[in-house]
Amino acid sequence: MGAYLIRRLLLIIPTLWAIITLNFFIVQIAPGGPVDQAIAAIQFGHGSGVPGVSAEGAGATHAQTGVGNIGDSQYRGARGLDPEIIAEITHRYGFDKPLHERYLKMLGDYLRFDFGDSLFRSASVVQLIGDSLPVSVTLGLWSTLIIYLVSIPLGIRKAVHNGSGFDIWSSAFIIVGYAVPAFLFAILLIVLFAGGTWFDIFPLRGLVSANFDTLPWYKKIADYLWHITLPVLATVIGGFAALTMLTKNAFLDEIRKQYVVTARAKGVGEKQILWKHIFRNAMLLVIAGFPATFISMFFTGSLLIEVMFSLNGLGLLGYEATVSRDYPVMFGTLYIFTLIGLLLNILSDITYTLVDPRIDFEGRG
């Protein structure tokens, strides 16, 4: 197992390189880059984002130089701006260097986990990710934990009582939950329990209260759970259906196999058959879905929830960076997303061997 884990860890390097490289060259040809964003900000009087260049100064330069003096500029909206202003903006964002130099510099920095500074925020990418990561980790871990704690026992019971009244009404319940979008359920929770119309029980924004640092430890725990209740409930509502049905079908498939019939013929008890034999084999499929479940809760599933509950998580950070073409933040969050996903896949393989020691990844090599 040790040699297999080393090989998997080493494979992370070329995988990260391929993903980062592909995305780097894709965004280079996409319109509306950070230079265009800065030029547009100057044109509309929102400031240039370039040290020493204000919107007023750039606007004055615009008025003095007239329209069309840099008609050969590669940037849209650059007409009428002094070439020195454009050169200063491109230098500020590093686009005055050749493409291959920017690419090689990025690879060297990423090997040292140096993601640089945000183009439009006065903070480093590491600081922004560090501030946002706890929110996403909180939503991802709690949501995944609750989904697994509910779905696995529920799926097992549905398999054991397949076709019963419990199986039918529970299936109807989880299908309805799956059909309700997370953001719509979040709105319902806000209206009912966050002062929207009925009850004002839970807070509407933030992960902790403003006075969190002054609270004793037990009140800090209560305050944290108080804030995270509604976002987690809104996140998990659609996650029960897939895992519950996967668990049920996996157990039903194992229950019908010959070794179960043989065990019953030998007089082995039903509980022993279920937990000693069926459980170990059926759980392999459930474990295989763990990385996808966690990643969907961690990244894609939490974006709207973060927006609605004013949680500055990693999903919201990556989305805002993409909209504003903040390339360092875009690539930094992509790097972290990919790294976490690859590590979770390795963790999934380790869990395979814990559930069923008969699995030998070394033998596959």
Q: For 161-191, what is each residue's pLDDT tens digit?
A: 888 989 999 989 888 888 888 788 888 888 8
Delimit the domains of the chain by residue range: 32-111, 125-364
**Cα separation of 64 and 96, whole Å?**
25
What confidence category does residue 158 fall into, taking pLDDT thresholds of 50, 70 and 90? very high
C-alpha distances (whole Å) from 53 to each of 83, 89, 119 are 13, 9, 15
Residue type, 314: L
64 or 353: whose pLDDT is higher?
353
What confidence category does residue 30 fall into, taking pLDDT thresholds of 50, 70 and 90? low
Is 125-364 assigned to CATH 3.60.15.10? no
**Cα separation of 135 and 276, whole Å?**
38
**Cα separation of 343 and 314, whole Å?**
18
Pair 333, 317: CB distance under 8 Å? yes
**Res 169: pLDDT:** 92
Which alpha helices (DSSP H) does 44-124 contain, by range? 55-65, 83-92, 99-111
Instruction: Compute the radius of gyration of the chain from its Cα atoms.
Output: 27
Whole-model pTM: value is 0.70
C-alpha distances (whole Å) from 156 to each of 142, 167, 258, 264 are 22, 10, 19, 19
Residue type, 8: R
- Tokens representing residue 313 in the block: 């998580």
Identify any residues that bridge with 135 across adjacent strands, giving them in sequence order.
none
Pair 237, 180: CB distance under 8 Å? yes
pLDDT score of 239 more than 70: yes
**CA proximity to 77, closest of 105, 41, 112, 106:** 41
DSSP annotation of 300 reads G
351 or 226: whose pLDDT is higher?
226
CB atoms near residue 262 (< 10 Å): 10
What confidence category does residue 154 fall into, taking pLDDT thresholds of 50, 70 and 90? very high
pLDDT digits (tens, 9 = 90+) for 117-147: 887 788 888 899 888 888 888 888 888 888 8
Pair 335, 21: CB distance under 8 Å? no
